Amino acid sequence: MVKGAEMDFSALAERHRPEIVAYLTRLLGSAEDAEDVCQDALLRGFRAAERLSAESNGRAWLYKIATNSALTFLRRRTRARARWSMLGLDDVPAPAAGGTERAAEVEIVVRAVERLPPRQRAALVQRRFQEMGYEEIGAALGCTPETARAHVYQAIKKLRTELERKPR
């Protein structure tokens, strides 16, 4: 029983690994940290694999353990800032017209995302980039779909506020 569950978990983890690492990279601002946190999450998953059979949605369960590991990591992270430069801020396209302004906006948004409370940040990334609905986000964050939606909307309002504060 446990052996079978472990095998199921291996297959599930291998299938969704790239997606989970991309999610964690967006959430943590560092591909390297994302790899570490993903390893940690998958190990927790291996250990809890027998519980997987009770979960109907394996992908949602992976997001849940990955999010828990990421939130723990963010609480412990002593570095003041994430290494957002990993995300290619330097390569933001700079077309001739308004390119500099666009790059400045991206920079502002990156800083604003960085300052979001971790759960808002997680909810925002899940909704915008991981193709998750509010039911799934709520399952990953351990909250109701309504709270998940509120997290996402709050986050986007803050991004707008930060952008408008931008000196013109």
Partner 1 sequence: MIGKKKEEELIGALLGDGERSAELDAWLETPAGRQAHAAYGRALAALDLALGDVPAAEPRGAVYYTTMQSPVGPLFLAATERGLVRVAFGGSADALRAELARRRVARPLVRSDDALAEPARQLEEYFAGRRRVFDLEPDLRFATPFQRLVLGAASSIPAGAVSTYGDIARSIGQPGASRAVGQALGHNPVPIVIPCHRVLAGGGGMGGYTGGLEIKKRLLAIEGVVGNLSF
Query: Can you give the binding site for partner 1, defined by CB under 8 A?
Result: 10, 13-14, 17-18, 21-22, 25-26, 31, 34-36, 38-40, 42-43, 45-46, 84, 86-89, 92-93, 102, 105-106, 108-110, 113, 124-125, 127-129, 149, 152-153, 156-157, 159-160, 163-164
Q: Toward partner 1, which CB reaches closer, 60 or 106? A: 106
Q: How far is the CB of 122 from partner 1 (least distance, A)?
A: 12
Q: How far is the CB of 164 from partner 1 (least distance, A)?
A: 6
Q: How far is the CB of 75 from partner 1 (least distance, A)?
A: 19
Q: Toward partner 1, which CB reaches closer, 99 or 142? A: 99
User: If you write DSSP's letter for every residue of the chain in order, what string do you get?
Assistant: -HHHHHHHHHHHHHHHHHHHHHHHHHHHS-HHHHHHHHHHHHHHHHHTGGGGGG-S-HHHHHHHHHHHHHHHHHHH--SSS--GGGG-GGG----TTTHHHHHHHHHHHHHHHHHS-HHHHHHHHHHHHS---HHHHHHHHTS-HHHHHHHHHHHHHHHHHHHHHS--
Q: How far is the CB of 159 from partner 1 (least distance, A)?
A: 4
